[in-house]
Structure 1
Amino acid sequence: MATHLITGAGSGIGAAVAEALHGRGDDLVLLARNPERADTLAERFPGATLIMADLADPDAIDQITGLPDRLDSVQHIAGVVELAPVAELRAEHFREQLEVNLVAPALLTRACLPALRAARGIVVFVNSGAGLAAGASWAAYAASKFGLRAVADSLRAEELGNGVRVTTVFPSRTATPMQEKVHEQEGRTYDSALWISPETVAATVLHVLDVPRDATIPEVTVRPLVPWTPK
C-alpha cells in the first residue's frame, strides 16, 4: 500500500486525484490550510492523515510536523491565481502567487525528501499550460509556474542518484473552480463542458505514479480538444 502526500485535495484536480487514490486503498496525507478544511477533508477521505499548514506562509511550511517516515509520492496540486496586466499588478497578489505556487512546493519538497528517498518515491508538480507560455494578464501566475518548472528540473537532476523521480504535469484549461474564476476575470462565459475534466488530469497523474521504477516521465502535457482563441 502506497502513501501519498497531496496538497489541494479540497477541490478540482487535487480532489480528483485524492478520490482515485483513496478509492484504490492507498494511504493519504493531506494538507489543510485551516481546521475547517481539515474537518471537511477528514469527512471526505476517512482514514487520511491531516496536516495543517497555510501554503501562503513560508514559516508554516518550515514548521510542519507529523510527516511519515516513507512517502511514495508528494503531489503539489494546490494553487492560486489572480490575473492582471503588469501595469495594474498589485504587490500582494504577486507575492501570494509566488508563495503558494512556487515557494511552498519547494519548501514542502525539501521537508519531505528524507521520506521520499526512503521510499524511492516520486514528486509530481501539477503545473499549468501557463508554465510553458505566458499571455497578457498572466505575468504573475505564469512567473510562478515557470519558476516551478525550474524547481522540478533542478530537483530531478539532484535526486536521480537517490532514486527519487520527478514529473511535471502541464494541464491546460481544466473544469475546476479556479478555471471558473479565471473566466470571470477574463470576462468570458464559463462552460465546464469545453474543458478537460479534473478526472482526466487525475488519470494522467495516476499513470505517472504507476510507471514501473525502471522508467520515468519527466514531463507530460494535457490539452483539451477545443481550439482556444485568445481574447
Structure 2
Amino acid sequence: MKPWTQLDAAPIPGGATLKLMRRGEDEFSITLGHNELMNSRLRGSEESLATLAIERIGQRPGLRLLIGGLGMGFTLRAALAALPADAEIVVAELIPAVIAWARGPLSPIFAGCLDDPRVSVLEADVVAVIREGQSRYDAILLDVDNGPDGLMVEANDRLYDHAGLAYTNAALRPGGVLAVWSAGPDRNFTQRLRQAGFAVEEKTVRARAGAGGAKHMIWLADGAGSASAIRPAQQSSKRRR
C-alpha cells in the first residue's frame, strides 16, 4: 500500500493542528492527531447532508442555504447539483487553511464549485453568521467538527447547546430545516433539538454512497423560523453531555 505524504498543516483554535495528507495521486485525508476527519473516498454521508435537506424543503424561488464547514466540498457540490440557478449558498469556514487547500491541492475535488456564482465563501465562525441571520435561510447545514460531540474546537459546543440551537431556529425562514452531520448518534442532542422547538427526524447514512462503510447520523430538524425561539433562559445555558 502506498504511504501517506503530508502536504500541509494548519493550527486551529485551542492549539491543535490539522494536517492535509495525500496517498498516491488522488486520495486525500484531513486529520486531527490520530483521528481522520475526512477522506476523499468517503463522501456519501456528507452528500446526503445536502440532498436530504433540499428534499425536505422542496424547490421554491430564491432558496438560500448556509453550510457550516467547507471540508472537502462534498456537501457544497451535492447542494449545487440539486439547486436551481437562482439559489444562493453561503459557506462559513473558520480555518483559513481549509479554504486555501480547496483552491490549491484539493482543487481537483472541488472541480471549480467555489467559482459558481451561487456560492459565497466566508472565512468566519458559523456561530456568528447564524446569530446575524434572523429569518435569512431556508436551510442550515452543519458539518462542523465531529458533530455535537466535537473533537476540534471546544467553542464549537456553542452550535449545539440550547442557546446555539435557539439562534439557529431563529435564523431559519418559515418552513426551513436544520440538517446536522455527526459521526454517530447522540440522544442528548436529539432532546436538545426538541427542547429548542424543532421537529426532529434521525437518519442513518453510509460513509460510502450506496456501498456500505461506516454509519453516520444526520438530524433533519424542521424549525419554527421565528425569533421567539430565542429565550433569555437558554442564552446562558451550557451544553450537557
TM-score (ref. length: structure 2): 0.44
Structure holding more strand per residue: 2
Structure holding more helix per residue: 1
